[in-house]
């Protein structure tokens, strides 16, 4: 019995497939590179816009204590939404029978459960983002306080002859 690696048909097909892949890759390389470079530029632009927006949010929160309070409330609300949506999804999963798609109410329950899980993931993303923003603000405030505490020491040492 002849193995497929020894047959002439197998080797001819391998050569033709290799040539075809090479030709297709040559024709697709330039458009693919152009699209990837455009995507990369858009990603860089989005990242820069996000960095500037984050800097603006930090500045606004540092300047206005009431806005910082609202940001803390938003983070708390986002975490509560995560917990609420997860509890609803778990409750819907617990009440589902062993055959989950046996009736219309079971299908509706599964759809609502899926929506709750997705909503909890969105809220989780928002909670993490707000938490990172608050940690950055906290670090900046700590730096400002540390600078204020060291400035009087410098003033006192310069007054003493």
pLDDT for residue 10? 84
Specify whether 92 is located in the same domain as 155. Answer: yes
Of residues 139 and 6, more confidence is placed in 139
First and final C-alpha spacing in the chain: 103
- Chain segment 54-88, per-residue pLDDT in tens: 999 999 999 999 999 999 999 999 999 999 999 98
92-124: pLDDT as tens digits: 888 777 676 778 888 888 888 899 999 999 999
Residues 14 and 47 in one domain: yes
Last residue of a domain, one of 63, 84, 113: 63
Distance separating alpha carbons of residues 103 and 114, to the nearest angstrom: 17
Domain identity same for 59 and 83: no
- C-alpha 33/C-alpha 22 separation (Å) is 16
Residue 20's pLDDT is what?
A: 94
Tokens for 132, please give them: 């990172």
Contact 106, 97 (CB under 8 A): yes
Cβ neighbours of residue 120 under 8 Å, at least 6 residues apart? 81, 82, 85, 86, 89
Q: Using the 8-state DSSP alphabet, how is residue 99 labeled?
A: S
Last residue of a domain, one of 14, 34, 63: 63
Q: For residue 3, what are the domain limits?
A: 1-63
Residues 90 and 161 in one domain: yes
Considering the domain architecture, whether residues 30 and 95 belong to the same structural domain is answered as no
Average pLDDT of every residue of the chain: 87
Report the chain's C-alpha Rg in angstroms.
30
Number of domains in the chain: 2
| pLDDT confidence bin for 36, thresholds 50/70/90 | very high
Residue 133 and residue 57 share a domain: no
Q: Is the C-alpha dihedral spanning 135, 70, 59, 52 positive or negative?
A: positive
Do 79 and 130 belong to one domain? yes
Select from 63, 91, 115 the last residue of a domain.
63
* pLDDT at position 52: 95
How far apart, in whole angstroms, are the C-alpha atoms of residue 62 and residue 137?
7
Can you tell me the mean pLDDT for 51-56?
93
User: What are the residue ranges of helices labelled H in the chain?
Assistant: 8-63, 65-94, 104-159
């Amino acid at each position: 019995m002849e193995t497929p690696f020894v047959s002439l048909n197998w080797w001819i097909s391998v050569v033709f497939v290799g040539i075809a892949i090479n030709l297709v890759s040559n024709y697709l390389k330039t458009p693919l590179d152009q699209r990837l470079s455009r995507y990369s530029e858009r990603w860089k632009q989005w990242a820069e816009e996000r960095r500037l927006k984050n800097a603006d949010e930090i500045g606004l929160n540092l300047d206005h204590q009431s806005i910082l309070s609202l940001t803390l409330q938003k983070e708390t609300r986002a975490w509560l939404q995560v917990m609420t949506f997860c509890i609803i999804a778990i409750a819907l999963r617990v009440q589902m029978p062993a055959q989950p798609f046996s009736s219309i109410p079971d299908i509706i329950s599964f759809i609502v459960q899926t929506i709750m899980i997705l909503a909890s993931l969105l809220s989780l993303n928002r909670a993490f983002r707000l938490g990172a923003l608050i940690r950055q603000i906290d670090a900046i405030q700590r730096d400002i306080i540390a600078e204020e505490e060291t400035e009087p020491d410098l003033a006192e040492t310069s007054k003493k002859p």
